[in-house]
Amino acid sequence: MTLRFTVSATDGAARRGRLETAHGAIDTPAFMPVGTAATVKAMTPEAVVETGAQIILGNTYHLMLRPSAERVAKLGGLHRFMNWPGPILTDSGGFQVMSLSQLNKVSEAGVSFQSHIDGAKYDLTPERSIEIQHLLDATITMQLDECVKLPADDKRVSEAMQLSLRWAERCKTAFKLRDGYGLFGIVQGGTNGALREQSAKGLIKTGFDGYAVGGLAVGETQAEMFATLDVTTPHLPQDRPRYLMGVGKPSDLVGAVQRGIDMFDCVMPTRSGRNGQAFTRRGTINIRNARHAEDPRPIDEHCRCPACRNYSRAYVHHLVRSDEILGSMLMTAHNLTYYQDVMQGLRAAIAEGRLEAFAAGFHAGEASGDI
Ligand SMILES: C=CCOC(=O)Nc1nc2cc3[nH]c(NC)nc3cc2c(=O)[nH]1
Ligand SMILES: [Zn+2]
């Protein structure tokens, strides 16, 4: 095994773990800020470290188009290029090809598409995706998969899941084994328990360093997402990390950790932060709302972030309303800090066997309003 994952405590299906990689260790459950174009938008690497994040996500689709994987490799790889010293997980590009590119077509060979930037044509095969992620020097590489938007009929979901299994094999064959680097398979199967079990068993037979749960947060309800996790994670190995992609809002994180998920990534804290949405222990506020225009209090008086330590809601309201760059910086730092504090709370609660009480307190806080 090239990635060492140890579970130090469990509480129900939840696990407190640690993943050792070539670029540093990750305490799980962990949230990965999204660094799409080799940057976590509006944040320097130092600011990202200060939030408590240990690992970030890079997007293969964006980087292969601009500046290209070959150029990043020539410049020493993604860690050097963006001065991020810790682990980086890169996606395989498949999901973003389907959601961002034009004229994309899926075949047994892979996905062909035209760049949304300049219309240039690309063929992304499992082998090329692995090669691109190798050129980026990704710490954790993701298999190329086919994710189906929900709702979809079982036949469609089953075909995509079987294709993803065949691509998983090809990715494993193409992946260069290096100590401290890993390759994750992706479980597909929509909200269908039998298809999820078949996918999990197929991936385990091939063997991966970690297992992602794909095909969720694509239009289903939170209840459907949780129900799918309930019939998926029990089939996954206890001694390997589980990664739920594209999730989510804070209550998604709490519920998914309770169902055995160890890793997350989501654009919500960064993207919605730039749009004025601030996450707090008592729910979310939109700082653009007029009621904050003269509020001298910080966004969250318990928060340790640069925004809450040094600025009023009134000032951040002014910055965001004025579309000032500092507004994006402060909102992003706040939201990422809040997300990391939720993860830290979950890790401590699992270690001390009080996850249920933590979750109850979390939900009570979110429902309390008066923010
Ligand atoms: C992202 C890391 C590695 O992912 C892949 O290489 N492929 C992949 N990405 C996804 C991303 C998702 N975002 C959401 N909601 C915002 N749902 C998603 C589902 C998938 C998926 O099924 N596969
Ligand atoms: Zn804050």
* pLDDT 10s digits, 95-148: 999 999 988 999 999 999 999 999 999 999 999 999 999 999 999 999 999 999
User: In whole angstroms, what is the distance from residue 162 CA to residue 267 CA?
Assistant: 28
> In terms of Cα–Cα distance, which of 21, 52, 58, 51 is closest to 37?
58
* pLDDT 10s digits, 173-230: 999 999 999 999 999 999 999 999 999 999 999 999 999 999 999 989 999 999 999 9
For the record, the structure tokens of 147 come out as 């994710």
Q: How far is the CA of 64 from the centre of ligand 2 (A)?
A: 34
CB 184 within 8 A of CB 168: no
Among candidate residues 145, 209, 265, 300, the one labeled active-site is 265
pLDDT of 1 strictly over 90 = no
What per-residue confidence (pLDDT) applies to 369? Answer: 79
What per-residue confidence (pLDDT) applies to 149? Answer: 86
> In terms of Cα–Cα distance, which of 161, 159, 186 is closest to 171?
186
What per-residue confidence (pLDDT) applies to 238? Answer: 98
What per-residue confidence (pLDDT) applies to 76? Answer: 98
pTM: 0.98
* pLDDT 10s digits, 315-341: 999 999 999 999 999 999 999 999 999
Average pLDDT of the chain? 97
* pLDDT 10s digits, 74-104: 999 999 999 999 999 999 999 999 999 988 9
What per-residue confidence (pLDDT) applies to 188? Answer: 98
Protein residue with its CA nearest to atom 22 in ligand 1 = 214
Section 164-171 average pLDDT: 98
Q: Is 360 helix (H, G, I), strand (E, B) or coil?
A: helix
What residues contact residue 322 under an 8 Å CB cut-off, 6+ apart? none
Q: Given ligand 1 and candidates 56, 91, 95, which is best to mutate, with the most ligand atoms within 8 Å of its CB?
A: 95
Q: Is 220 in the pocket of ligand 1 (CB under 6 A)?
A: no
Q: Is 215 in the pocket of ligand 1 (CB under 6 A)?
A: yes
Section 287-295 average pLDDT: 98
Q: Is 186 in the pocket of ligand 1 (CB under 6 A)?
A: yes
Residue whose token pair is 């309770």: 258
* pLDDT 10s digits, 35-81: 999 999 999 999 999 999 999 999 999 999 999 999 999 999 999 99
Section 347-369 average pLDDT: 96
pLDDT of 360 strictly over 80 = yes
> In terms of Cα–Cα distance, which of 43, 15, 59, 23 is closest to 337?
43
Q: Where does the pLDDT of residue 371 fall: very low under 50, low under 70, confident under 90, or very high at 90 and above? A: confident
Q: How far is the CA of 93 from the centre of ligand 1 (A)?
A: 9
Section 12-19 average pLDDT: 98
pLDDT of 370 strictly over 90 = no
User: In whole angstroms, what is the distance from residue 293 CA to residue 319 CA?
Assistant: 11
What per-residue confidence (pLDDT) applies to 78? Answer: 98
**ipTM associated with this complex:** 0.97
* pLDDT 10s digits, 228-283: 999 999 999 999 999 999 999 999 999 999 999 999 999 999 999 999 999 999 99
Residue whose token pair is 């670029």: 23
What per-residue confidence (pLDDT) applies to 150? Answer: 85
Active site residue 153: no
Residue 161 φ/ψ, nearest 5 degrees: -65, -40
